[in-house]
Protein backbone atom coordinates (compact mmCIF):
# COMPACT_ATOMS: atom_id res chain seq x y z
CA UNK A 1 0.00 0.00 0.00
CA UNK A 2 2.87 2.34 0.81
CA UNK A 3 4.42 1.65 -2.59
CA UNK A 4 1.18 2.66 -4.34
CA UNK A 5 0.91 5.85 -2.30
CA UNK A 6 4.50 6.73 -3.09
CA UNK A 7 3.95 6.24 -6.82
CA UNK A 8 0.84 8.46 -6.77
CA UNK A 9 2.66 11.21 -4.87
CA UNK A 10 5.66 10.95 -7.18
CA UNK A 11 3.46 11.18 -10.28
CA UNK A 12 1.71 14.17 -8.83
CA UNK A 13 5.08 15.83 -8.26
CA UNK A 14 6.13 15.16 -11.84
CA UNK A 15 2.89 16.63 -13.21
CA UNK A 16 3.29 19.74 -11.03
CA UNK A 17 6.89 20.23 -12.10
CA UNK A 18 5.96 19.78 -15.76
CA UNK A 19 3.15 22.32 -15.43
CA UNK A 20 5.46 24.89 -13.91
CA UNK A 21 8.08 24.32 -16.59
CA UNK A 22 5.48 24.63 -19.34
CA UNK A 23 4.41 27.97 -17.95
CA UNK A 24 7.93 29.30 -18.13
CA UNK A 25 8.46 28.89 -14.35
CA UNK A 26 10.99 26.76 -12.46
CA UNK A 27 10.20 24.07 -9.92
CA UNK A 28 10.53 25.43 -6.39
CA UNK A 29 13.71 24.54 -4.54
CA UNK A 30 11.62 22.76 -1.92
CA UNK A 31 10.19 20.45 -4.60
CA UNK A 32 13.67 19.63 -5.89
CA UNK A 33 14.89 18.95 -2.36
CA UNK A 34 11.89 16.73 -1.63
CA UNK A 35 12.52 14.78 -4.82
CA UNK A 36 16.18 14.31 -3.84
CA UNK A 37 15.24 13.07 -0.37
CA UNK A 38 12.70 10.65 -1.83
CA UNK A 39 15.32 9.27 -4.22
CA UNK A 40 17.74 8.77 -1.33
CA UNK A 41 15.10 6.91 0.66
CA UNK A 42 14.35 4.60 -2.28
CA UNK A 43 18.07 3.92 -2.82
CA UNK A 44 18.63 3.19 0.87
CA UNK A 45 15.65 0.81 0.91
CA UNK A 46 17.01 -1.07 -2.08
CA UNK A 47 20.39 -1.53 -0.39
CA UNK A 48 18.74 -2.69 2.83
CA UNK A 49 16.63 -5.26 0.98
CA UNK A 50 19.67 -6.57 -0.88
CA UNK A 51 21.81 -7.05 2.26
CA UNK A 52 22.42 -10.60 3.51
CA UNK A 53 22.05 -11.68 7.13
CA UNK A 54 25.32 -11.89 9.06
CA UNK A 55 27.06 -15.17 8.30
CA UNK A 56 29.48 -16.96 5.98
CA UNK A 57 28.66 -17.72 2.34
CA UNK A 58 30.25 -19.08 -0.80
CA UNK A 59 29.97 -16.89 -3.89
CA UNK A 60 31.22 -16.62 -7.47
CA UNK A 61 33.99 -14.16 -8.38
CA UNK A 62 33.57 -12.84 -11.92
CA UNK A 63 36.04 -10.58 -13.74
CA UNK A 64 36.48 -9.03 -17.17
CA UNK A 65 39.80 -10.78 -17.85
CA UNK A 66 41.00 -14.34 -18.32
CA UNK A 67 44.28 -13.28 -16.68
CA UNK A 68 42.56 -12.21 -13.45
CA UNK A 69 40.66 -15.05 -11.79
CA UNK A 70 40.51 -17.42 -8.84
CA UNK A 71 42.80 -20.40 -8.51
CA UNK A 72 41.58 -23.38 -10.51
CA UNK A 73 41.34 -25.25 -7.20
CA UNK A 74 38.57 -22.87 -6.11
CA UNK A 75 36.29 -23.38 -9.13
CA UNK A 76 35.69 -19.66 -9.49
CA UNK A 77 34.44 -19.27 -5.93
CA UNK A 78 35.47 -17.49 -2.73
CA UNK A 79 34.18 -16.91 0.79
CA UNK A 80 31.82 -14.03 1.55
CA UNK A 81 31.61 -12.93 5.20
CA UNK A 82 28.84 -10.61 6.38
CA UNK A 83 29.39 -9.02 9.80
CA UNK A 84 27.20 -6.23 11.13
CA UNK A 85 25.87 -5.81 7.61
CA UNK A 86 29.36 -5.23 6.13
CA UNK A 87 30.38 -7.63 3.36
CA UNK A 88 33.96 -8.85 2.77
CA UNK A 89 34.88 -11.36 0.07
CA UNK A 90 38.01 -13.51 0.34
CA UNK A 91 39.37 -14.85 -2.92
CA UNK A 92 42.41 -17.04 -3.59
CA UNK A 93 43.95 -16.01 -6.91
CA UNK A 94 45.82 -18.13 -9.44
CA UNK A 95 49.36 -17.13 -8.44
CA UNK A 96 51.47 -14.52 -6.64
CA UNK A 97 51.73 -12.26 -9.69
CA UNK A 98 49.10 -9.77 -8.48
CA UNK A 99 50.87 -8.00 -5.63
CA UNK A 100 48.17 -5.50 -4.59
CA UNK A 101 44.55 -4.64 -5.27
CA UNK A 102 42.82 -1.26 -5.00
CA UNK A 103 39.01 -0.86 -4.75
CA UNK A 104 38.68 1.86 -7.36
CA UNK A 105 40.34 3.16 -10.53
CA UNK A 106 44.00 2.55 -11.36
CA UNK A 107 44.52 6.29 -11.83
CA UNK A 108 43.62 6.91 -8.17
CA UNK A 109 45.62 4.08 -6.63
CA UNK A 110 48.96 5.82 -6.06
CA UNK A 111 47.27 8.70 -4.23
CA UNK A 112 45.44 6.30 -1.89
CA UNK A 113 48.06 3.82 -0.72
CA UNK A 114 46.34 3.35 2.64
CA UNK A 115 43.40 1.80 0.77
CA UNK A 116 45.50 -0.82 -1.00
CA UNK A 117 44.50 -4.41 -0.24
CA UNK A 118 47.39 -6.44 1.19
CA UNK A 119 47.66 -10.09 0.10
CA UNK A 120 47.51 -13.13 2.30
CA UNK A 121 49.38 -16.34 1.46
CA UNK A 122 46.81 -19.06 0.81
CA UNK A 123 47.48 -22.76 0.28
CA UNK A 124 45.12 -24.27 -2.31
CA UNK A 125 44.64 -27.98 -2.97
CA UNK A 126 43.97 -29.29 -6.45
CA UNK A 127 41.85 -32.30 -7.42
CA UNK A 128 44.94 -34.52 -7.72
CA UNK A 129 45.97 -33.70 -4.15
CA UNK A 130 48.84 -31.34 -5.04
CA UNK A 131 49.03 -27.99 -3.26
CA UNK A 132 50.28 -24.52 -4.14
CA UNK A 133 50.79 -21.21 -2.33
CA UNK A 134 48.99 -18.29 -3.96
CA UNK A 135 47.99 -14.76 -2.99
CA UNK A 136 44.55 -14.19 -1.52
CA UNK A 137 42.69 -10.93 -0.88
CA UNK A 138 39.91 -9.65 1.37
CA UNK A 139 37.83 -7.42 -0.89
CA UNK A 140 35.18 -5.03 0.47
CA UNK A 141 31.84 -5.52 -1.31
CA UNK A 142 29.14 -2.84 -1.26
CA UNK A 143 26.55 -4.76 -3.28
CA UNK A 144 26.13 -8.30 -4.62
CA UNK A 145 25.45 -9.17 -8.27
CA UNK A 146 26.73 -5.71 -9.23
CA UNK A 147 29.83 -4.76 -11.23
CA UNK A 148 32.44 -2.59 -9.49
CA UNK A 149 35.93 -1.26 -10.19
CA UNK A 150 38.93 -3.13 -8.83
CA UNK A 151 42.43 -2.16 -9.94
CA UNK A 152 45.38 -4.53 -9.70
CA UNK A 153 49.11 -4.01 -9.41
CA UNK A 154 51.30 -6.49 -11.26
CA UNK A 155 54.88 -7.54 -10.57
CA UNK A 156 56.14 -4.92 -13.07
CA UNK A 157 54.76 -2.08 -10.96
CA UNK A 158 51.90 -1.04 -13.25
CA UNK A 159 48.24 -0.66 -12.24
CA UNK A 160 45.46 -2.05 -14.42
CA UNK A 161 41.73 -1.32 -14.34
CA UNK A 162 39.29 -4.21 -14.08
CA UNK A 163 35.59 -4.69 -13.51
CA UNK A 164 34.57 -7.48 -11.14
CA UNK A 165 31.49 -8.72 -9.32
CA UNK A 166 30.55 -11.11 -6.51
CA UNK A 167 27.49 -13.18 -7.39
CA UNK A 168 25.33 -16.15 -6.42
CA UNK A 169 25.99 -16.08 -2.68
CA UNK A 170 24.88 -19.22 -0.84
CA UNK A 171 25.17 -20.09 2.87
CA UNK A 172 28.32 -22.01 3.64
CA UNK A 173 27.49 -25.22 5.51
CA UNK A 174 29.65 -27.40 7.71
CA UNK A 175 29.53 -30.10 5.05
CA UNK A 176 31.27 -27.69 2.69
CA UNK A 177 34.09 -27.01 5.20
CA UNK A 178 37.44 -26.71 3.48
CA UNK A 179 40.48 -28.84 4.24
CA UNK A 180 42.83 -26.81 6.45
CA UNK A 181 46.36 -25.98 5.36
CA UNK A 182 49.08 -28.58 5.86
CA UNK A 183 49.98 -28.91 9.53
CA UNK A 184 49.10 -30.54 12.85
CA UNK A 185 45.71 -29.92 14.51
CA UNK A 186 43.40 -31.30 17.17
CA UNK A 187 39.82 -32.20 16.31
CA UNK A 188 36.80 -33.02 18.42
CA UNK A 189 35.47 -36.48 17.53
CA UNK A 190 31.89 -37.69 17.83
CA UNK A 191 31.45 -41.49 17.71
CA UNK A 192 28.05 -42.98 16.85
CA UNK A 193 26.92 -46.55 16.31
CA UNK A 194 27.59 -49.89 17.94
CA UNK A 195 26.26 -50.71 21.39
CA UNK A 196 27.19 -47.31 22.80
CA UNK A 197 29.70 -48.80 25.26
CA UNK A 198 32.82 -48.11 23.18
CA UNK A 199 34.32 -44.63 23.00
CA UNK A 200 37.24 -42.92 21.30
CA UNK A 201 39.51 -40.24 22.71
CA UNK A 202 38.46 -36.68 21.92
CA UNK A 203 40.06 -34.46 20.86
CA UNK A 204 42.10 -36.52 18.43
CA UNK A 205 45.30 -35.61 16.63
CA UNK A 206 44.66 -34.57 13.02
CA UNK A 207 47.46 -34.19 10.49
CA UNK A 208 47.17 -32.56 7.08
CA UNK A 209 49.88 -33.38 4.53
CA UNK A 210 49.67 -32.55 0.85
CA UNK A 211 46.04 -31.55 1.40
CA UNK A 212 45.04 -34.95 2.82
CA UNK A 213 43.77 -35.40 6.39
CA UNK A 214 44.75 -38.26 8.70
CA UNK A 215 43.34 -38.75 12.22
CA UNK A 216 44.78 -40.77 15.11
CA UNK A 217 41.94 -42.75 16.69
CA UNK A 218 42.45 -44.18 20.19
CA UNK A 219 39.73 -46.58 21.29
CA UNK A 220 38.62 -47.21 24.88
CA UNK A 221 39.54 -50.89 24.46
CA UNK A 222 42.67 -52.85 23.41
CA UNK A 223 40.52 -55.38 21.57
CA UNK A 224 40.12 -53.78 18.13
CA UNK A 225 42.38 -55.56 15.63
CA UNK A 226 41.55 -53.64 12.45
CA UNK A 227 39.42 -50.86 10.99
CA UNK A 228 37.97 -50.48 7.50
CA UNK A 229 37.58 -47.03 5.96
CA UNK A 230 36.33 -46.55 2.41
CA UNK A 231 37.06 -50.22 1.61
CA UNK A 232 40.66 -50.12 2.93
CA UNK A 233 41.79 -52.11 5.99
CA UNK A 234 43.94 -50.35 8.61
CA UNK A 235 45.86 -52.19 11.36
CA UNK A 236 46.71 -50.83 14.82
CA UNK A 237 49.82 -48.67 15.11
CA UNK A 238 50.55 -49.97 18.64
CA UNK A 239 51.00 -53.35 20.33
CA UNK A 240 50.24 -52.34 23.92
CA UNK A 241 47.46 -50.29 25.46
CA UNK A 242 44.17 -49.31 23.85
CA UNK A 243 43.87 -49.93 20.13
CA UNK A 244 45.19 -46.98 18.11
CA UNK A 245 44.73 -46.39 14.38
CA UNK A 246 45.69 -43.79 11.82
CA UNK A 247 42.85 -43.40 9.33
CA UNK A 248 42.08 -41.00 6.45
CA UNK A 249 39.43 -38.31 6.97
CA UNK A 250 37.55 -37.31 3.83
CA UNK A 251 35.90 -34.14 5.17
CA UNK A 252 35.33 -32.14 8.33
CA UNK A 253 31.85 -31.83 9.77
CA UNK A 254 30.61 -34.86 7.83
CA UNK A 255 30.01 -38.32 9.38
CA UNK A 256 32.68 -40.79 8.22
CA UNK A 257 31.48 -44.40 7.99
CA UNK A 258 33.97 -46.88 9.46
CA UNK A 259 34.01 -50.53 10.46
CA UNK A 260 35.93 -51.70 13.52
CA UNK A 261 36.59 -55.36 14.27
CA UNK A 262 36.66 -56.40 17.93
CA UNK A 263 37.98 -59.66 19.40
CA UNK A 264 36.45 -59.04 22.84
CA UNK A 265 33.58 -61.40 22.11
CA UNK A 266 33.67 -65.17 21.70
CA UNK A 267 34.67 -64.62 18.10
CA UNK A 268 35.79 -61.56 16.07
CA UNK A 269 32.90 -59.23 15.28
CA UNK A 270 32.77 -56.26 12.87
CA UNK A 271 30.82 -53.25 14.14
CA UNK A 272 29.63 -50.28 12.08
CA UNK A 273 30.32 -46.75 13.38
CA UNK A 274 30.48 -43.17 12.18
CA UNK A 275 33.09 -40.62 13.22
CA UNK A 276 32.56 -36.87 12.81
CA UNK A 277 35.54 -34.50 13.11
CA UNK A 278 35.44 -30.79 13.93
CA UNK A 279 38.54 -28.63 14.34
CA UNK A 280 38.97 -27.09 17.77
Q: What are phi and psi of 265, to 5 degrees?
A: -90, -175
Q: What is the CATH number of the domain that holds 246?
A: 2.60.40.1850
Long-range contacts of 155-159 (CB under 8 A, 24+ apart): 155/97, 155/99, 159/102, 159/106, 159/107, 159/109, 159/110
**Is 112 part of a structural domain of the chain?**
yes
At residue 206, the pLDDT reads 96
Task: Tell me the percentage of the chain whose pLDDT exceeds 90.
Answer: 60
CB atoms within 10 A of CB 262: 18
Sorted by sequence, the CB contacts under 8 Å of residue 17 that are 6+ apart come out as 27, 31
pLDDT at 132 over 80: yes
Domain enclosing residue 251, as ranges: 183-279
Pairing state between β 131-141 and 120-125: antiparallel
Are 59 and 167 part of one and the same domain?
yes
Q: Which of 48-52, 200-204, 216-220, 225-229 has the lowest mean pLDDT?
A: 48-52
The residue ranges of DSSP E strands in 103-255, in sequence order, are 120-125, 131-141, 148-149, 151-154, 159-160, 163-171, 183-193, 204-209, 212-218, 224-229, 232-234, 244-249
* 61 & 161 share domain: yes
Distance (Å, whole) CA 56 – CA 170: 9
The CATH number linked to 75 is 2.60.40
Model pLDDT, residue 49: 40
Residue 243 included in any domain: yes
Q: At what angle do helices 2-22 and 29-50 cross, to 10 degrees?
A: 150
Q: Are residues 62 and 159 in the same domain?
A: yes
- Same-domain status, 159 and 190: no
How many helices and strands, by DSSP H and E, does the chain display?
Answer: 3, 18
Q: Is residue 191 part of a domain?
A: yes
pLDDT band at 265 (very low <50, low <70, confident <90, very high): confident
- Residue 8 CB coordination number (10 Å): 10
Q: Does residue 94 lie within any of the structural domains?
A: yes
121 and 193 in a common domain: no
**Which pTM was predicted?**
0.49
> For residue 51, what pLDDT band results from cuts at 50, 70 and 90?
low
Would residue 146 count as lying in a domain?
yes
Q: Does residue 208 share a domain with residue 163? A: no
Mean pLDDT for 259-264 is 92
> Residues 65, 138: one domain?
yes
189 and 240 inside one domain: yes
Summarised one tens digit per residue, pLDDT across range 159-197 is: 999 999 999 999 876 444 578 889 999 999 999 988 778
Out of 17-26, 43-52, 86-95, least confident range:
17-26
Q: Which parts of the chain fold into alpha helices (H)? A: 2-22, 29-50, 106-109
The whole-chain average pLDDT of the chain stands at: 82
The answer to whether residue 33 is domain-embedded is: no
Assess contact for 187 and 215: CB atoms under 8 A.
Answer: yes
Per the structure, the count of domains in the chain is 2
- The mean pLDDT of 26-42, rounded to a whole number, is 40
pLDDT of amino acid 159: 97
For residue 139, tell me if it sits in a domain: yes
Amino acid sequence: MRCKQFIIVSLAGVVLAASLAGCGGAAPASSVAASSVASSVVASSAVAEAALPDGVYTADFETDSSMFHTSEACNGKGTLTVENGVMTFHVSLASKKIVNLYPGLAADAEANKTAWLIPTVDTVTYADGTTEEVYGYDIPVEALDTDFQLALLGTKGKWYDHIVSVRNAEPKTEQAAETPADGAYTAAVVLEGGSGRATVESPAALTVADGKMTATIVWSSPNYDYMIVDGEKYLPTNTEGNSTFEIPVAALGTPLAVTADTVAMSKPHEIEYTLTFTLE
